[in-house]
Structure 1
Amino acid sequence: MTDVLLCVGNSMMGDDGAGPLLADMCRQAARGDWVVIDGGSAPENDIVAIRELQPERLLIVDATDMGLNPGDIRLIDPQDIAEQYLMTTHNMPLNYLIDQLCEDVSDVLFLGIQPDIVGFCYPMTAAIKHAVETVYLSLDDRDAPGRFPAL
């Protein structure tokens, strides 16, 4: 059984670097049995690699403007991403990526972290660092990411 963690974001854009920070933390000290992919700001480039892994579960983590308090973490139904017009900063809408992967992966989870400041060369805020740490610590329990509050 393979589980893939796809970390999405741009570390040069302040809080949008939540995903890459999570990937770095996992590279330094793995949690659970996740295969970690740092998708950066163009995660669609990793579709083939993810399909080759044939994961049973895919967890996508990204900074996502959901209109919440900075650092809030929400489990978002992948089918709702396009309908709710959730804002991300990536080359292609995440619903395109998710639609492609849902054809091959039976369980796709999307965790959004509410950013505070997204701007070129801004530092990541403390609230987002704390949220990333919370997600990181949850990875030991395979089912824990699915227990975050739903949006």
Structure 2
Amino acid sequence: MQNLKTQLQKKLEGVDRLGILGIGSDLRGDDAVGLWVAKALGRKSKTAGPVEIRAFLGHTAPESLTGEIKKFRPTHLLIVDAISMDRAPGEARLFDAQDISEGISFSTHRMPLKILASYLCQSFPCSITVLGIQPQVTDFGKKPSRTVQAGARTVCRMIREILRVR
């Protein structure tokens, strides 16, 4: 996780306005991990010192929030989603928006993140990073796993630490 923290520090360098776009379905267990992270960080925004944070809950249609995100005009946008990456449940990994490959399986949203990120990049200058968290359970009607919830809490703690240091 220390490597992830170092990568996040580099990605969030120079951040003034941080948008956090949480993606996923509340009805599919760990698929909602992006929503949990966005809600948690949006609630704690006062701990971020000079950084203005706004959480956007994209659920399964994140493209519907592009107008709100553009109005906020973040310097950095962190898109958080459950991503099947053949890793341990709860493990997180960063992706550059442009480097998202077809071999990575995203959650239940309709529009591919690569297209969404490309559109947002063309709309205004912004550093966009995707934070993927490996889900364990994504079946309809299932409860979230403790392992992935713990991974989400770790990611939130890490981001708060980075923003306070700034």
Q: Give the whole-Å Cα distance in 2 for the aligned partners of 1:37 and 1:91.
A: 17
1:109 equivalent in structure 2: 129
* Higher-helix-fraction structure: 2
Q: Please give the secondary structure, in 1, of the residue aligned with 2:81.
A: strand
Deviation at 1:78, TM superposition (A): 1.3
- Taking the TM superposition and a 5 Å limit, the aligned residue runs for 1:1-151 are 1-30=16-45, 31-32=47-48, 33-103=52-122, 104-140=124-160, 141-142=162-163
**Normalising to structure 1: TM-score of the pair?**
0.86
Would you say the 8 A contact 1:71–1:115 is kept in 2?
yes
Runs of 5+ consecutive residues of structure 2 not aligned to the other structure: 1-15
Deviation at 1:27, TM superposition (A): 4.7
Deviation at 1:143, TM superposition (A): 9.3
Question: Aligned-pair RMSD on alpha carbons?
Answer: 1.9
**Normalising to structure 2: TM-score of the pair?**
0.79
Q: Give the whole-Å Cα distance in 2 for the aligned partners of 1:89 and 1:29.
A: 27
- Identical aligned pairs, as a percentage? 31
Would you say the 8 A contact 2:81–2:106 is kept in 1?
no
Structure with max Cα Rg? 2
Q: Give the whole-Å Cα distance in 2 for the aligned partners of 1:9 and 1:142.
A: 25
Runs of 5+ consecutive residues of structure 1 not aligned to the other structure: 145-151
Deviation at 1:58, TM superposition (A): 0.4
Would you say the 8 A contact 1:8–1:19 is kept in 2?
yes
Deviation at 1:10, TM superposition (A): 0.8
